[in-house]
């Protein structure tokens, strides 16, 4: 196997990893961030979370999830 074939094979592997894992991991990170910032930290510090900031975070997360679902519905044209 030549250098070019090896590079093309690794390129396909990396593209597959990005396409299949990047979006789900991002969504898990967004949801995890919401849980930590809106539930865990206020409980640990015995504080009430700022509801305006919480609403902004949830709205942004909803938009991110909506973009992901729209992309899944639309599909990939290659």
Tell me the pLDDT tens digit for each residue of 25-64: 888 888 899 999 999 999 999 999 889 989 998 888 888 8
Given a cut of 90, whether residue 4 has pLDDT beyond it is: no
SS3 label, residue 43: helix
pLDDT for the residue 76: 59
The Cα 3–Cα 24 span in angstroms is 32
Whole-prediction pTM value? 0.63
Per domain, the residue ranges of the chain are 21-74
Do the beta carbons of residue 27 and residue 65 sit within 8 Å? yes
């Amino acid at each position: 196997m030549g250098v070019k074939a090896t590079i093309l094979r690794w390129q396909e592997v990396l593209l597959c990893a990005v396409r299949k894992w990047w979006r789900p991991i991002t969504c898990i990170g967004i949801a995890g961030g919401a849980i930590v910032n809106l539930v865990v930290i206020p409980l640990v510090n015995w504080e009430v979370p700022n509801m305006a900031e919480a609403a902004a975070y949830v709205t942004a997360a909803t938009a991110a999830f909506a973009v992901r679902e729209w992309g899944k519905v639309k599909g990939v044209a290659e």
